[in-house]
A and B are shown apart, each in its own frame.
Chain A
């Protein structure tokens, strides 16, 4: 009781609703799903929720080759997609920053892909890459470049490439818009001073613009890494992880195991492995963000 009458109690009392809400909507579901990953929980058999199986689900998934392939593929997909989106987003942001008239219109147009649902994007690219009635095959055949049908969504390399193209098409604007915001917020004085000192455009970009943009890059990376690691809808529509598991990512596998097979205990164990991946990437990018900020501070 003495605590509640003390001066220290005020911040705790004021923060209590926030703690309670966070506990209700985040902490409890997380703990509960962690618990279910140690059970034989099947969606259609609610009683199985109380059937404790210890580490069995984890042992099974860690000894499952398909799981590790999906894990590795997700890691590669994440790395390649993030880097491609960064490079393209940066190029777009730099180009738009140079435009003096019609910039608002172009900024709006640039954001269009972000407005589509991933399911629609999946369908769109599924038909673009379709080997029979797809746009790309029809175009290259009509142009006389080849009369061979390229099975874009079948070959292991091209199928993953097609998904990557769809992902990059949809999400590059996120990078572009964040980096453009960074560019617009950048003070012009250091750039002007560098030019006066005789720096060429590359040197200005390398030593002034890019360091200033790095915090924005890492924020975008952190946000997008969480999104890409959860990639599901587009892959589900385009290939459903196939053929022969060639495009299986963690979340297509988890969704199949959890919802179609109803093995929610196993799916939750897989999800926790996936969450570890996301936590690692978030931690990594936030550390980079902190060091980029520190380095900006030292520059000032």
Chain B
């Protein structure tokens, strides 16, 4: 039986992707994506300006393969996630390709096929190894990574170059004013810069997975983690308490807008672009936006620095990738696999990288930096160099189906501590108790 399955996988791989076995280098525009004349490939893709530019390439794939692509759904990722869960519930998986994400992927069970079985190793070898590893769930490659996220610091250069600021900072703390290397320094500086309501030190995503994720990042930077090896919640440790205290301290010092507990990424990005934040620990996708005079008051005045380290002397490196997956029920898997490989090929990756997103193919990293240097765009070239450093420390959230559910019991408790409704210990103990119940109910807790 195993031999039969193995043989079936090999035959399937050959039939489906014989053409894909060619090197997937983008320079080769004659790349053969297979022929699927008359076939309509149904896809559910993440929508939104920053994601849709890539979809302009779909016409190329259609021309090359003779197939048509029907985008049956184009929504933000949270709505798409809800829709996919409803499709699973109703058993109506009538589509072939879906946008996915490292944080979401573990929830979907066996909805998606193992791409390792159908994509040649030579192609997979061109992806950043760590990014590819993060795309696995239970040893199965359920998603092909498209762009990667990891946070670093954006800061207003003028504030750091201001002679008065430098002198005051030196007098107060005895050290030179320079972008923070630790979270303690980060806290010290954002409190120093804060001059509300005109300028805040920073802002953080205060709800949803944004809050839990940033907390997790600092917990890990402090040497702790969210769970132990047996899936017991451990974030109510000293590392967790210190991480939560970091948020409480900057909140109480009014170094962040009071409304930050309701902010998500857009609110923070807009506030930074409006020049009302001194420093912003944020994703790479904002780099081009912040430096565009049409959208940002701080264009041309932005500094970039690697994310700070915690008390354990390491970076949390909270990271994840947007990706594409192929459904198990797809009626034409070869076409679907060809499509997701096309959307993550070298040319697609270069297109994403030119817009400021971190590509997932190793070669695209180096090539886009060369391109930016040739165009004298040192800001974007520096951005890639900075972000590449952080990728070395990148870590995903726990890849278990229960992660989003656990996150949903953590962030309201973090908020309660930040706004002074609970003590940090009470908040974290309550969250840990609820998280433990979720893991017990799921039968995961050993």
Contact = CB atoms under 8 A, between A and B. Distances in A.
Interface of A: 43-46, 126, 130-133, 137, 141, 147-149, 151-154, 238-245, 256, 259-264
A151 B88 contact: no
B279 interface: no
Nearest to A131: B259
A264 B89 contact: yes
Nearest to B264: A240
Given A132-B271, A260-B404, A261-B404, A154 B89 contact: no
User: Which 5 A/B pairs are nearest by Cβ-Cβ distance?
Assistant: A151-B258, A244-B416, A131-B259, A243-B261, A243-B415
A263 B86 CA distance: 12
18 contacts: A43-B88, A44-B401, A45-B109, A46-B91, A132-B267, A133-B270, A133-B276, A141-B197, A151-B259, A153-B262, A154-B419, A243-B418, A243-B419, A244-B261, A259-B85, A260-B405, A262-B85, A264-B89
B86 A242 contact: no
Given A154-B261, A243-B206, 10 more contacts: A44-B89, A44-B109, A131-B259, A141-B197, A149-B197, A242-B415, A243-B418, A244-B415, A256-B408, A260-B405
Contacts of A260: 78, 81-82, 404-405, 408
B130 interface: no
A220 to B, nearest CB: 32
B88 A131 contact: no
Nearest to B84: A44
Interface string B384-415: 00000000000000000100110010011101
Contacts of A244: 261, 412-413, 415-416, 418-419, 421-422
Interface residues of B, number: 41
B196 interface: yes
Contact of A131 (B89, B258, B274): B258
Interface of B: 78, 81-82, 85-86, 88-89, 91, 107-109, 196-197, 200, 203, 206-208, 257-259, 261-262, 267, 270-271, 274, 276, 401, 404-405, 408, 411-413, 415-416, 418-419, 421-422
B275 to A, nearest CB: 11
Contacts of B203: 132
Nearest to B89: A43
B200 A242 contact: no
Contacts of A259: 82, 85
Contact of B262 (A46, A239, A263): A239
Contacts of B85: 43-44, 259, 262
A44 B108 contact: yes
A149 B412 contact: no
A155 to B, nearest CB: 8
Nearest to B406: A261
A238 B258 CA distance: 15
A123 to B, nearest CB: 10
A44 B401 CA distance: 10
